[in-house]
Amino acid sequence: MITTTIFPGRYVQGPNAIQLLGEELARLGKKALLLEDPFAAKALKQDIEKGLGGKLQCHIEVFEGECCDEEIDRLSATQGIDVVAGIGGGKTLDTAKAVAHKLNVPVAIIPTLASTDAPCSALSVIYTKSGEFSRYLVLPQNPNLVLVDSAIIAKAPARFLVSGMGDALATWFEAQSCSVTHASNMTGRLGSATALGLARMCFETLLEYGPQAKVACEAQITSAALERVIEANTLLSGLGFESAGLAAAHAIHNGLTVLEATHAYWHGEKVAFGTLTSLVLTDKAPDVIDTVFGFCESVGLPTTLAEIGLDKVSDADLMKAAQAATATGETIHNEAGTVTPETVFNAMKAADAIGRDRKTWL
pLDDT tens figures, 282-332: 999 999 999 999 999 999 999 999 999 999 999 999 999 999 999 999 999
Residue 147 confidence (pLDDT): 98
157, 269 contact by CB (below 8 A): no
pLDDT at position 239 = 96
* Alpha-carbon torsion angle 33, 36, 41, 44, nearest 10: -100
Mean pLDDT of 155-160: 96
> Has 101 been annotated as catalytic?
no
Q: Of residues 47, 101, 149, 267, which has the active-site annotation?
A: 267
Percent of the chain residues topping a pLDDT of 70: 100
Catalytic residue among 250, 263, 283, 287: 250
Could you confirm whether 267 is annotated as catalytic?
yes
Q: Is 114 marked as binding a ligand?
A: yes
Task: Using the predicted structure, report yes or no on whether residue 279 has a pLDDT greater than 80.
Answer: yes
Among 302, 314, 310, CA closest to 274: 302
Residue 124 has pLDDT above 80, yes or no: yes
Which pLDDT score is estimated for 361? 85
Task: Give residue 104's pLDDT band: very low, low, confident or very high (50, 70, 90).
Answer: very high
Determine whether the annotation assigns residue 92 to a binding site: yes
Band of pLDDT at residue 131, cut at 50, 70 and 90: confident
Q: Check the annotation: does 234 bind a ligand.
A: no
SS3 of the chain? CCECCCCCCCEEEECCHHHHHHHHHCCCCCEEEEEECHHHHHHCHHHHHHHHCCCCEEEEEECCCCCCHHHHHHHHCCCCCCEEEEEECHHHHHHHHHHHHHHCCCEEEEECCCCCCCCCCCEEEEECCCCCEEEEEECCCCCCEEEEEHHHHHCCCHHHHHHHHHHHHHHHHHHHHHHHHCCECCCCCECCHHHHHHHHHHHHHHHHHHHHHHHHHHCCCCCHHHHHHHHHHHHHHHHHHHHHCCCHHHHHHHHHCCCHHHHHCCHHHHHHHHHHHHHHHCCCCHHHHHHHHHHHHHHCCCCCHHHHCCCCCCHHHHHHHHHHHCCCCCHHHHCCCCCCHHHHHHHHHHHHHHHHHHHCCC
Q: What is the mean pLDDT of residues 247-253?
A: 98
Which of 253, 263, 290, 333 is catalytic? The answer is 253
Q: Has 113 been labeled as part of a binding site?
A: yes
> Residue 236: which pLDDT band, with cuts at 50, 70 and 90?
very high
pLDDT at 1: 86
pLDDT of the residue at 139: 94
Indicate if the pLDDT at residue 133 is higher than 90. no
Domains of the chain in sequence order: 11-154 (3.40.50.1970), 158-360 (1.20.1090.10)
Per-residue pLDDT at 89 exceeds 90: no
**Cα gap 210→162, rounded to integer Å:** 8
For residue 250, indicate whether it is catalytic: yes
pLDDT for residue 221 is more than 90? yes
Q: Is 192 annotated as a binding residue?
A: no
Span 355-359, mean pLDDT?
A: 98
Q: What is the mean pLDDT of residues 48-60?
A: 96
Q: What is the band of 65 on the pLDDT scale with cuts at 50, 70, 90? A: confident
- Taking phi over 0 as left and psi of -120 to 50 as alpha, with beta for the rest, 220 belongs to left
**CA–CA distance, 181 with 337 (Å, rounded to integer):** 9
Q: What is the pLDDT of residue 362?
A: 73
Consult the annotation and say whether 123 binds a ligand. yes
Instruction: Give pTM, 2 decimals.
Output: 0.92
Given 47, 101, 149, 167, which residue is catalytic? 167
Is position 115 annotated in a ligand binding site?
Answer: yes
Q: Please, which pLDDT band fits residue 118 given cuts at 50, 70 and 90? A: confident
Distance (Å, whole) CA 192 – CA 75: 36
Confidence tier at 203 by pLDDT (50, 70, 90): very high
